Structure 1
Amino acid sequence: MAAGLALGRLIPGLGALLSAVQVDGISLPIAAGLLIMMYPVLAKVRYDRLDTVTADRRLLIGSLLLNWVVGPAVMFSLAWLLLPDLPHYRTGLIIVGLARCIAMVIVWNDLACGDREAAAVLVALNSMFQVVMFAVLGWFYLSVLPGWLGLPQTGIDVSAWQIGKSVLIFLGIPLAAGYLTRRLGERAKGRQWYETRLLPRLGPWALYGLLFTIVILFALQGDQITTRPWDVARIALPLLAYFAVMWAGATRWDSRCGWAMPALPRRHLPPPATTLNSPSPWRSPPSAPRPARRWPGWSDR
C-alpha cells in the first residue's frame, strides 16, 4: 500500500499511464494481477466436493440474504447518514454496497484457511446473481427509494453485459484454468503428486498477484489519496461502520445456524479510496462476499 502511494505521488503521470493501459474499459495491469492472484487458489479447489456445498441450502440462502437484502440496505442508510453533502461519493458508496467481490475475496479466504469449495460456490452464486440484479437494485436504491423518502435521485447506466463481462474475465478465466489444471494434473500424476508437488509451487503466486494488484491500485490513485486526506477519512467512516454492522450480523446469524462464517460481508480491499466506483475519478474492480464455511487447520491444506 505504501509503495503504491509513494509511486503514485512521486512519479508524475504514472496514474494516467496505468489508466491508459486498458482494453474495452478493463485495466490490463489490474486484470493481470487479479488473474495471477486467483488462479493458484482455484487450482487448489477440490471440484469433486462441490456437491457438499451446493446441497447446503441454508448456507446458500443465508449468503444471498446477507449480500443482496441486508448489505445494500445497510450501505444505503450509512451513505445518506454520513455523506449527505457529498452526492458523488454517496452514490459511489451505494454502488459499492451492491457490488460483490469476485477476485480478492477468494485469496483472503484462502489465506484465512477458509473452505475453498464453499468460497468457489458462493462467489459463483453471487456473481451470477449480480449479473441479473445489479442494475435493478441500482435503479431501486438510487432512484426509487430516494424518491419515496423525498431525497435527491440519481441514475445508473450499467448493462448486464458490462457486469457479465467482468464476471467472465475475472472469475470465468481463472476458474476454468484452475479446474483444468487440477483435472489434467490428477489424471496425469495423481492427487498426491498434484497436492504435494504442484500446488506448493503454484501457491506463492496468489500472494505475489495480491501484492502486485494492491500496489497498482494505490499507484493509480496515489495522488488523489495523498492530496485529499479528509475525503478519504470521510469515506472510510461509513465503510468501517458497514463492515462492523455486517460482521456482527453475519456472526450472530452463524451462531444461530451453527455455521462458522458462511458469508462474511463483502469487500476487504485495504483502502477506502479504492473501494469507490462512482462518478468520481476513484474506481475499483467489482466485488463479492468473503465466504468461509469452516476453518480447517493447516494440516488439512
Structure 2
Amino acid sequence: MGLFERYLTLWVALGIAAGVALGVVMPGFFQTIAGIEIAHVNLIVAVLIWVMIYPMMIQIDWSSIKDVGKKPRGLVLTLVVNWLIKPFTMAALGVLFFKVVFAPWVDPQSASEYIAGMILLGVAPCTAMVFVWSQLVKGDASYTLVQVSVNDLIMIFAFAPIAAFLLGVTDVTVPWQTLLLSTILYVVLPLVAGVLTRHALQQRSPTAVGDFVARLKPWSITGLIATVVLLFGFQAQTILDKPLVIAMIAVPLLLQTYGIFLLSWVGARLLKLPHDIAGPACLIGTSNFFELAVAVAISLFGLHSGAALATVVGVLVEVPVMLSLVALVNRWGKQAPAARLAQATGHGPQGPLA
C-alpha cells in the first residue's frame, strides 16, 4: 500500500477538521461552492466524485461482465439487503429512538421529520462512492458495476413507492432530474471515459492499464479527501450549532450502518462468496445515495427542516464509518485464506468467506 492508502483514515480525519474550520472561517466561499448546482446536484462535488471513481472504471473488464449471470449470488444478496431489509430497519430504528428513547428531549414534530430523513437515506442505496469502497477492498470492478447498475434501475421504480409507504404519505415527489443527472454524472460519464481509456491503453502494452491506474491512485484519494472537506465545510455551522441533535441522529444511523453490514457479511459467508464479490456486495448495501436523499428531503420538507438535517447527518457519518468497514472487510478477507487452509487440513473452523 502507498502512503495515501496506508494512512487514509488520518487524511480523512484531517479533512473533516479542515472542512469544519474552513467552513467557519470562510462561510461565503462554501456558500458560493454550494450554489454551483443543477437539480440539487453540486457540480464541484460531482467532479471530485468523478475523479475518485474514474480509476475504478478503467479497471472494468467488459469481457467478464457477460459471466456475472453465472454467479448471481452476490447480486441477489445486494438486492435483498437494499430493497427488502434496509429501508424497513432504518424506519424501525428511527421510530424506536425518536418516538421512545429520545422522546423526552425531542418535540413530536421534529422527531417525525428526523425519522423521515432517515427513511429517505434508507431507501437510497449508494451509486457513486461505492466504486471507491470497492477499489479499496480490491473488489471485482466488473461485478460492482453490474450491482450498481441494477440498483439504479430498481431505484427508478421502487424509490417513490417504498418512501411513500414508509413516510405514510401518498404523494412523494421524486426529483427525477436529480436522479437521472446523478446517474449520468456518477456512473455513465466516468464509465464511458474509463472504457475509452482502457481501450487506448491496451493498444499500447499489456501492462499499460495497471501502470496508469497506479499513477492515478493518489488523485483518487485526493478527490475523496477534497469531497470530505467540502461536505463538512458546507455544514460547519450546523455541526457547531446543533451538536446534541446531530449526535442523537447519528446513533440510529450508526447502528443501522454497522447492523446492515454485519447482516450482509453473514449472508456473504452463508452464500460462500469470494472476497472480491462479498466486499462490494456488503458495502453497497451499507452506504447511501445521500445526494438523492438530501434533495428529496429539501423538496418535501424544506431546506431547514429536521428531515433535511437528518440526511445531512447521514453525509457526515458516511465517510468515517465506511472507512472503518473497509478496514474490516480487508482484515477479514486476509483471514479467509488461512481459515480455509485450516479447514482443509482439519485444524480449524470454516473461514469468513470460505
TM range (shorter): 0.7 to 0.9
Corresponding position: 1:106 with 2:120: no
Deviation at 1:224, TM superposition (A): 0.7
CA deviations on 1:154-193 (whole Å, 9 max, x unpaired) are 852114453122112211111111111112221x213322
Q: Tell me which protein shows more helix as a share of its residues.
A: 2
The residue identity in structure 2 corresponding to 1:267 is S
Max Rg structure: 2
Deviations 1:15-57 (A, max 9, x none): 4222212233321211111111111121122222223333222
Candidates 74, 84, 88, aligned match of 2:113: 88
Q: Residue type matched to 2:204 in 1?
A: K
Q: What is the aligned partner in structure 2 of residue 20 from structure 1?
A: 35
Cα distance, 1:295 vs. partner?
Answer: 5.4
2-structure distance, mates of 1:209, 1:23? 20
Stretch deviating more after TM superposition (133-142 or 158-167): 158-167
Partner amino acid for 2:233?
Answer: A
Match of 1:236 in 2: 250
Structure 2 distance, partners of 1:61, 1:113, is 20
> In 2 relative to 1, CA 225–155 (structure 1 residues): closer, same or farther, beyond 3 Å?
farther
Which of 153, 169, 181 is the equivalent residue of 1:128?
153
Secondary structure of the structure 1 residue equivalent to 2:269: helix
* SS in structure 2 of the partner of residue 72 of structure 1: helix
The residue that corresponds to 1:266 in the other structure is 286
CA distance in 1, matches of 2:199, 2:246: 45
Q: Secondary structure at the match of 1:54?
A: helix
Cα pair 2:41 2:178 within 8 Å, conserved: no
Q: In percent, how many aligned pairs have the same letter? A: 27
1:110-189 correspondence runs (5 A)? 110-143=135-168, 153=169, 155-186=171-202, 188-189=203-204
Displacement, 1:58? 1.9
Shift of 1:215: 0.7
Instruction: Name which structure has the greater RCO, CA cutoff 8 Å, separation 6+.
Output: 1
Is 1:115–1:295's contact at 8 Å kept on the other side of the alignment? no
Establish whether residue 50 from structure 1 lines up as the match of residue 70 from structure 2: no
Could you say if the C-alpha distance between residues 295 and 124 of structure 1 is closer, same or farther in structure 2, counting changes exceeding 3 Å? farther
Cα gap change, 1:239 to 1:247, in 2 (>3 Å): same
**2:172 aligns to what SS in structure 1?**
coil
- Tell me, yes or no, if the aligned pair for 2:58 and 2:209 is still in contact at 8 Å: no
Could you tell me which runs of 5 or more consecutive residues in structure 1 were left unpaired when the two chains were aligned.
Answer: 144-152
Relative distance call for 1:231 and 1:14 in structure 2 (3 A) is: farther
Distance 1:137 1:248 in 2: 23
TM-score (norm 1): 0.83
Deviations 1:112-153 (A, max 9, x none): 22222222221111112112211121112112xxxxxxxxx5
Q: 1:38, 1:206 within 8 Å by CA — same for their partners in 2?
A: yes
Partners of 1:193 and 1:20 lie apart in 2 by 39
**Alignment equivalent of 2:52, drawn from 21, 30, 37:** 37
CA contact (8 A) 2:50 2:186 kept: yes
**Counterpart Cα distance in 2 of 1:296 and 1:267:** 23
2:225, 2:187 → 1: CA distance?
A: 19
User: C-alpha distance in 1, partners of 2:272/2:233?
Assistant: 42
1:254 pairs, out of 264, 268, 278, with 268
CA distance in 1, matches of 2:84, 2:219: 35
Q: Which amino acid aligns with 1:236?
A: A
CA contact (8 A) 1:54 1:60 kept: no
Aligned-partner residue type, residue 223 of structure 2: G
State the one-letter code of the partner of 2:235. Answer: Q
